[in-house]
């Protein structure tokens, strides 16, 4: 019998035995292939578990980075708020009479910076404490994912390790902004502004008094007297119905025209020596007054002060002795028996002797000459000429004297005002320099965050051996088998999420604070400005510049002097010039990475992955797994929640603790 006769019959067809063996072999191969496929699929799943574990671990770091980013945003925005409010207080300090309001603004800015300093210090401590807990949280999150992926009798063990293992962050959140210079400048500016206000009030009062004496008084004034006594027309004798546009140069020009007209028109008011003497005295007085008016001047200076000289005319004998009316040799003299005699006119009946030249009234008091017994010319008579029109309110000199008194007060007040404004400008420049320095301090590089896991997290997952191949795939067809043990290594790191460029995490954070602290019901510019700067943290330059413009614009109407407008523009320009670079507010998301790159960045050699694979225990608690891999593990009982800091809401007495639920940082969803 041939060997193949059992499988092929005489007709060349397959025997029953051949068919039976073929079916048996086919089924064995099919079930063997299925078992092999099952084993291959389950073998590859360990890599997927490792990938999920690494991503879950790095998600903890991502959530922490958001917490740190919000904390830093609070510190920066509070600093900007405090400095901008101090800048507004500096500008408000230049507003005359606004010292109380300015002090309140400066005090508010100082309190914001105090709150910022306290928050920054506590936030640095809180974040540091949170970073110490990160390795434990990373182990828990990754361990939970590994455990959650156990199914079909397949057991996994392992977790993720953060790199660096320990924090290398530099929490320079509390970069100190000292408001002392700004506060001092504001206080000095307020004092100078108060002096300027008082000087301005005195200047305004003096200007009003001068205007009233010149043309605003009723029923008489210089303008009215000039029209009545000298007949001056409107061109030489203008009327100003209000002080607007009037200055002390107006009465000076009016008086020049008035005395020129009076001098030209002067004639005796009767015959005889007495009217002639009176006329001679008036003529001399008018000539003297005209000369004095012409030597006077009025100029307005660029700094707001004035350079003016309005002559003060004598109104009695004593004052006359201090003028040219007393010393100039203009009076006719004759030689009489008693000696040299002075006369009011050459036609004086008392001038009987030969002419003896000219002499002054001073000569009589000095004993060089004698008073004429007929005309009785002496310094007393000259003094009475001015006294008559100065002492009564129908005399031109009466109102001129009031103008001069007002001019003297105005000159002194404007000089003091100019001095105060010069001082305000100097203090303003110093204050702006301090303001710029404070902004520069805020512009320094933000904190360098390097928490555990910032380079990435490397997950090491072990599949336990001994998992049986399902009996439906082996029973009756192939020998029972089991899935061998396996290992997988994966790594994840953080990458910016482009879709979160315009994320509203800070807006939602501020809204949450507002709801907790009742901020929405607080009508406080400082608080709303802080919210605006906080939400605008991701575009700091535009936010700070526009916020400063809006804030300073609110005090536009109160700026009573050019110094105030100048200082406001100076402070505003400083904010624009200094420029704040926008902060990258994109959220971070975990992405898979090459484990070798993560280990290399952490300065770990190539054999570290192999060491970790060998170190993973067959089974154990998260703490045991963590310690086997060299991760410092905290007691889970203490992994509850941590208060990062207490934040004092600017403009209020409200302080809200920022508490982080640590378990909330852990994925814990098995995905």
User: What are 27-77's pLDDT values in tens digits?
Assistant: 555 545 544 544 554 556 788 889 999 999 999 998 888 888 878 877 877
Rounded Cα–Cα distance for residues 390 and 663 (Å): 95
Q: What is the pTM of this model?
A: 0.71
Mean pLDDT of the 239-258 span: 96
What is the pLDDT, as a whole number, of residue 568? 79
Higher pLDDT, 578 or 211: 211
Q: How many CB atoms lie within 10 A of CB 439?
A: 23
What is the pLDDT, as a whole number, of residue 305? 82
Residue 234 phi, psi dihedral angles, 5° rounding:
-65, -30
Averaged pLDDT of the chain: 80
Mean pLDDT of the 567-589 span: 74
Judge whether 273 and 375 are in contact, CB under 8 Å. Answer: yes
Least confident of 301-305, 312-316, 536-540: 536-540
Confidence of residue 226 (pLDDT cuts 50, 70, 90): very high
Confidence of residue 670 (pLDDT cuts 50, 70, 90): very low
- What percentage of residues in the chain have a pLDDT greater than 90? 35
Confidence of residue 552 (pLDDT cuts 50, 70, 90): confident
Least confident of 242-251, 408-417, 524-533, 614-623: 524-533
What is the pLDDT, as a whole number, of residue 286? 96
What is the pLDDT, as a whole number, of residue 472? 46
**DSSP helix/strand/coil, 171:** coil
Mean pLDDT of the 266-292 span: 94
Nearest to 129 by CA among 177, 36, 67, 78: 67
Q: How many CB atoms lie within 10 A of CB 502?
A: 9
Confidence of residue 1 (pLDDT cuts 50, 70, 90): very low
Higher pLDDT, 573 or 61: 61
Residue 359 phi, psi dihedral angles, 5° rounding:
-150, 165
Question: Which of 32-36, 59-63, 354-358, 439-443: highest mean pLDDT?
Answer: 354-358
Higher pLDDT, 313 or 479: 313
pLDDT for 448 beyond 90: no
The residue extents of the domains of the chain are: 6-78+111-167+452-553+563-665
In the structure encoding, which two tokens stand for residue 571, read together? 């402070």
What is the pLDDT, as a whole number, of residue 522? 29
What is the pLDDT, as a whole number, of residue 509? 63
Cis amide prior to 42 (ω within 30 degrees)? no
Confidence of residue 671 (pLDDT cuts 50, 70, 90): very low
Higher pLDDT, 610 or 220: 220
DSSP codes, 79-141: HHHHHHHHHHHHHHTTSTT-HHHHHHHHHHHHHHHHHHHHHHHHHHHHHHHHHHHHHHHHHHH
What is the pLDDT, as a whole number, of residue 529? 67
pLDDT for 221 beyond 80: yes
């Amino acid at each position: 019998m041939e060997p193949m006769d059992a499988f092929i019959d005489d007709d060349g067809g397959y025997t029953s035995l051949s068919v039976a063996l073929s079916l048996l072999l086919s089924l064995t191969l099919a079930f063997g292939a299925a078992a092999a496929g099952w084993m291959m699929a389950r073998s590859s799943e360990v890599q997927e578990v490792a990938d999920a574990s690494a991503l879950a671990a790095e998600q903890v770091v991502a959530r922490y980075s958001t917490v740190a980013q919000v904390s830093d945003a609070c510190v920066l925005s509070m600093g900007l708020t405090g400095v901008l409010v101090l800048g507004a207080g500096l500008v408000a300090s230049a507003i005359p009479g606004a010292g109380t309001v300015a002090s309140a603004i400066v005090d508010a800015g100082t309190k914001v910076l105090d709150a910022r300093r306290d928050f920054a210090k506590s936030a640095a401590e809180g974040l540091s404490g949170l970073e110490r807990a990160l390795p434990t949280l990373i182990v828990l999150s990754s361990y939970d994912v590994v455990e959650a992926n156990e199914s079909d009798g397949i057991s996994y063990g392992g977790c993720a390790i953060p790199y660096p293992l320990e924090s290398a962050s530099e929490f320079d959140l509390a970069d100190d902004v000292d408001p002392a210079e700004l506060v001092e400048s504001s206080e000095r500016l307020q004092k100078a502004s108060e002096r300027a206000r008082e000087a301005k009030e005195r200047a305004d009062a003096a200007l009003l008094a001068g205007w009233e004496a010149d043309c605003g008084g009723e029923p008489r004034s210089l303008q009215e007297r000039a029209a009545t006594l000298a007949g001056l027309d409107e061109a030489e004798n203008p009327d100003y119905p209000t002080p607007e546009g009037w200055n002390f140069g107006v009465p000076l020009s009016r008086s020049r025209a008035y005395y020129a007209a009076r001098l030209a028109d002067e004639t005796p008011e009767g015959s005889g020596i007495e009217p002639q003497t009176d006329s001679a005295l008036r003529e001399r007085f008018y000539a003297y007054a005209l000369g004095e008016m012409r030597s006077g001047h009025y100029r307005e200076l660029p700094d707001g002060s004035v350079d003016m000289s309005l002559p003060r005319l004598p109104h009695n004998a004593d004052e006359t002795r201090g003028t040219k009316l007393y010393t100039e040799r203009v009076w006719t003299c004759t030689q009489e028996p008693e000696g040299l005699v002075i006369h009011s006119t050459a036609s004086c009946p008392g001038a009987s002797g030969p002419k003896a030249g000219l002499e002054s009234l001073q000569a009589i008091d000095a004993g060089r000459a004698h008073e004429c017994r007929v005309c009785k010319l002496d310094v007393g008579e000259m003094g009475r000429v001015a006294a008559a029109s100065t002492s009564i309110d129908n005399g031109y000199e009466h109102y001129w004297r009031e103008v001069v008194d007002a001019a003297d007060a105005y000159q002194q007040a404007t000089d003091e005002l100019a001095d105060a404004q010069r001082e305000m400008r100097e203090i303003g420049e110093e204050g702006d320099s301090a303001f710029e320095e404070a902004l520069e301090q805020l512009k320094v590089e933000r904190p360098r965050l390097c928490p555990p896991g910032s380079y990435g997290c490397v997950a090491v997952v072990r599949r336990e051996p001994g998992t049986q191949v399902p009996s439906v795939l082996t029973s009756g067809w192939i020998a029972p088998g089991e899935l061998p043990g396996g290992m997988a290594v994966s790594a994840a790191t953080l990458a910016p999420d482009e879709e979160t460029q315009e994320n509203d995490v800070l807006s939602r954070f501020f809204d949450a604070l507002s709801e907790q602290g009742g901020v929405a019901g607080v009508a406080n510019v400082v608080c709303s400005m802080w919210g605006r700067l906080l939400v605008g943290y991701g575009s700091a330059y535009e936010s700070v510049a526009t916020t400063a413009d809006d804030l300073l614009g609110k005090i536009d109407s109160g700026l009573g002097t050019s110094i105030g407008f100048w200082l406001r523009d100076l402070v505003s320009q400083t904010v624009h010039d200094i420029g704040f670079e926008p902060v990258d507010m994109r959220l971070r998301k975990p992405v898979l990475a090459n484990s070798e790159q993560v280990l290399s960045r952490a300065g770990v050699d190539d054999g570290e992955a192999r060491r970790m694979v060998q170190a993973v225990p067959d089974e154990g608690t998260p703490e045991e797994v963590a310690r086997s891999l060299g991760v410092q593990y905290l007691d889970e009982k203490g992994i509850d929640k941590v208060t990062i800091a207490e934040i004092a809401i600017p403009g209020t007495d409200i302080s809200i603790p920022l508490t982080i639920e640590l378990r909330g940082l852990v994925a814990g969803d098995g995905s």
